[in-house]
Amino acid sequence: MSVPGPSSPDGALPRPPYCLEAGEPTTGTQNQVVLLDTLEQEISKFKECHSMLDINALFAEAKHYHAKLVNIRKEMLMLHEKTSKLKKRALKLQQKRQKEELEREQQREKEFEREKQLTARPAKRT
């Protein structure tokens, strides 16, 4: 919202002192131009500084997530080793059980054959 200044007698608004026609340089205008240039340079420096802070924050965040990924990878390798060992152990146990079951079956067959041989048979008549 702009505040209107005092109007000139012809009804037009008065021209600010820094709005000069071509060929009307004054030291006040030159000072304002220098001041504006300096202000723009300071603003750009501030923006660069702020963007550097953002970049530093991004690098810190990237470092943090990289460390997390390294830890996850280590954990996955450890879990892989554990599952491999468990699979080997399970296979050995399964083979042992199958061997024991086979031995029991063979023992039953031997006992059955022994019982069969011990059963009374009628003698042959001659």
Secondary structure element (H or E) that encloses residue 119, with its range:
none
The per-residue pLDDT for 1 is: 46
Tell me: pLDDT of 108 over 70: yes
- Cβ-contact 65, 57 below 8 angstroms: no
Give the residue extent of every domain in the chain: 29-118
pTM above threshold 0.85: no
Q: What percent of the chain has pLDDT over 90?
A: 51
Q: What is the pLDDT of residues 18-67, one digit of tens each?
A: 555 555 556 778 999 999 999 999 988 888 888 888 888 999 999 999 99
Helices (H), 1-126: 27-118
